[in-house]
Structure 1
Amino acid sequence: MDKLRGRAETLKIAHLLDIEPHALTFLQGLPVDDVRRFRAQTVAALFDRAPDMLDRIAAATKLVPSGVAAAISQKALGPRLAAAVAGRLDPARAADIIEKLPVTFTAESCAHLDPRRIEGIVGRLDENLVVRIAVALAERGDHLTMGRFVGHLSDAALRRILPQIDDATVLRTGYVIDAPERLGHIIDLLGEERLASIIASAPASGLWPEALAVAGMVPGSRRARIASLTAAQPRDHLDTLVLTVADQDLWESLLPLVALLSEEERRTVAELPSLRDTDVLAGVVRAVAATTLWAEFLPLVDALPADSRKTVADTAGTLPTPDLDALAREVDKQNLWDLVMPLVELMDDDAKTRIFMLPAFQDQPET
């Protein structure tokens, strides 16, 4: 999940700075919590050191009716400056002015509003207006701004908004949501049929990474629902998922979902043509070794066809000794030997010797 969360955080920072995301790719190699803190510092640097002029304009708006202030915002300030001034106002006053502005102007301004001010303002807006603004943002394709707002919307507003935006927009918005703790509840509001439709839209839209990120952010049973609905997709759709994961090295996001599947669902995944590709299988073994996701991976291996299991065994047998030792210790810790020993039996004699000469075995207490 860290890789996908890191991408999302980088997109948000690029949006704040109004630069292309590729200029910040170096951030994606950093711990995601550090990048998130950097984003918070970026917000503070951008909005806490605003020119005194903004405070003077904000003070002046208190002297005129909200309708006049709205006209000044639209005609004289423009969306960016109007948003900057709104961020210096009391939330109730800002909401009064926003309600007098055209929805299209407000939607454009939202992208420039101090993210820390959103909750206070949105909670004071009329629900009908909130719905219209959200739909306008969707029409503009401004998923990053929607991601800032959606966590602060009421259930009543969400129930009206969700049917009016397409599946790809829901995925893109969920990927960059600023309040991921709300995702589980939003998924409940979607319902089973719409959730299945959203998952089915991922391959055609090229949004498997976004779908994986959303699944990784939702808790418990909801994540299992997403995993099952994904496993029920047509085989060619699932193949694009595996190939996307292999190409972008996203196994740490996919394997925990596979581990939630029933035995029958795992068998469906294991029989995919993409998981007969030796390069794909070798790549996933190396990724699992790097992330120590053996407990999530081994049940899938057990369901693979014989030739695919042989590829996994051969690749595992050539892993560096520290990786093999980490495998042995993890397997022993979680008592997964019944899944590992059939793989060891498929290895050649040199690999078997390496396995049983590992420090993990030498460290076993004498009986």
Structure 2
Amino acid sequence: MNKLPARAETEKIARLLDRDPGEFAFLAELPADDVRRLRELTVAALFDNAPDMLDRIARATKLVPAGVAAAISQKALGPRLAAAVAGRLEPSRAADIIDKLPVAFTAESCAHLDPRRIPSIVAGLDEGLLVRVSVALAERGDHLTMGRFVAHLPDSVLDRVLPQVSDEVVLRTGYALDSPQHLPHIVELMGDDRLERVVASAADGLWPEALAIASSVTGEQRIRIATLAAHRPPDQLDSLVRTVADQDLWEALLPLVAVLPDEDRRTVAALPALSDAEVLTGLVPAVVATGLWAQFLPLFDLLPEDSRKTVADAAGTLPDADLDALAREVDKRDLWELVLPLVELMDDPAKERILTLPAFQDRAGQP
């Protein structure tokens, strides 16, 4: 299970409830789809039972010009209440009022808007205003709110916004995107040069965000991101592996390593982090938990001899059930050629345990 989408969803729930994300850290261990559904239920609970007062205010705004309603929003309501009222208005009316508000006030209000109302309101706003509000959100560092809006912005707006925001903003917003299925299109809009700069910026403490984006794309885009990361200076690439080890994000990294050309995979295998016994010992249970043996074994084959021995020793201490699951996965994917060197490096008691496992016995009985 890739933990990063669930982590992002947990941060969004914390924002909705105006609480510290640490209070909900336990949610990040759950399947992302379940946490996403919880976020949707949270949105419904927060916005569907709004006080009748909001409807009365919304009706009152229809009686005055949009400019007057905008002035009332600023002076009497404030960003939070103004956003709540906007969620009760017809989208066209909300757009008319927003058009009269200062960009800074609108950007602050966006954080409090019912997320389900965003598509219809965005559709009624001038593209120039959408650009200005998007840039203002970036300047505020409000990536979670940007993540709600980006998927609903037309390409013509994104083409104008992307050059005006930093690479860090692109990474943080991509990680927080409410609709990750739109990431491949956004990556395409960025172009190769910008994508290279964005990946390079991940070395400044943003590797998890980059991994989240890479996990949401496939095919040539995933290979491109993986290759760009592999071509970073060795110290930066080593920091990626150590970040993954510290945060137990192997399920996000190993599929990327698996798509690398052999030369780049050798570069990864030679990193100091992958000669660190503590890192390697933690890697084995992660591979067991995620079932990513097919992605890991080609990397194992390229590790230095001492590192391979450390991995083999750690694998040899796994419970029988985990070893049997390994053997069955290897058999299913026909990875025996890759796993046998791992078994050969184990001590004799571990080898004996493996050879008596049901999966090995089953294979031995095959013609």
Interval containing the TM-score (normalised by the shorter chain): over 0.9
Distance (Å, rounded) in 1 between the aligned partners of 2:320 and 2:127: 60
Q: Corresponding residue for 1:330?
A: 329
Q: CA deviation at 1:26?
A: 2.3
Distance (Å, rounded) in 1 between the aligned partners of 2:124 and 2:218: 30
Distance (Å, rounded) in 1 between the aligned partners of 2:222 and 2:62: 48
The secondary structure found in structure 1 opposite 2:178 is: coil
Q: Corresponding residue for 1:211?
A: 210
Q: CA deviation at 1:366?
A: 5.1
Q: Corresponding residue for 2:279?
A: 280
Q: Corresponding residue for 1:247?
A: 246
Q: Corresponding residue for 1:173?
A: 173
Distance (Å, rounded) in 2 between the aligned partners of 1:366 and 1:283: 34
Q: Corresponding residue for 2:255?
A: 256
Q: Corresponding residue for 2:62?
A: 62
Distance (Å, rounded) in 2 between the aligned partners of 1:178 and 1:287: 27
The AA in structure 2 aligned to 1:227 is A
Larger deviation, residues 295-304 vs 26-35: 26-35
Task: Establish whether residue 220 from structure 1 lines up as the match of residue 184 from structure 2.
Answer: no
**1:170-198 per-position Cα deviation (integer Å, ceiling 9, x unaligned):** 11111110111110010011111111111
Q: Corresponding residue for 1:185?
A: 185
Task: Establish whether residue 4 from structure 1 lines up as the match of residue 23 from structure 2.
Answer: no
Larger deviation, residues 348-357 vs 104-113: 348-357
Q: CA deviation at 1:32?
A: 2.1
How many aligned positions are there?
Answer: 366
Q: Corresponding residue for 1:137?
A: 137
Give the gaps of 5 or more residues in structure 2: none
Q: Corresponding residue for 1:100?
A: 100
Distance (Å, rounded) in 1 between the aligned partners of 2:170 and 2:318: 40
Q: Identity of paired residues, percent? A: 70
Structure 2-normalised TM-score?
0.97
Q: Corresponding residue for 2:119?
A: 119
Q: CA deviation at 1:353?
A: 1.1
Distance (Å, rounded) in 2 between the aligned partners of 1:163 and 1:63: 41
The secondary structure found in structure 1 opposite 2:8 is: helix
Distance (Å, rounded) in 2 between the aligned partners of 1:213 and 1:303: 26
Q: CA deviation at 1:86?
A: 0.4
Q: CA deviation at 1:358?
A: 0.8
The AA in structure 2 aligned to 1:32 is A
Q: CA deviation at 1:19?
A: 1.0
The AA in structure 2 aligned to 1:179 is S
Distance (Å, rounded) in 2 between the aligned partners of 1:346 and 1:13: 46
Give the gaps of 5 or more residues in structure 1: none
The AA in structure 2 aligned to 1:326 is A
Q: Corresponding residue for 1:158?
A: 158
The secondary structure found in structure 2 opposite 1:203 is: coil
The secondary structure found in structure 1 opposite 2:318 is: coil
The AA in structure 2 aligned to 1:138 is A
Asked if the contact 2:83/2:113 (under 8 Å) is kept, the reply is yes
Larger deviation, residues 22-31 vs 332-341: 22-31
Distance (Å, rounded) in 1 between the aligned partners of 2:343 and 2:21: 45
Structure 1-normalised TM-score?
0.97
Distance (Å, rounded) in 2 between the aligned partners of 1:2 and 1:50: 35
Q: Corresponding residue for 1:296?
A: 295
Q: CA deviation at 1:31?
A: 2.5
Distance (Å, rounded) in 2 between the aligned partners of 1:93 and 1:177: 27
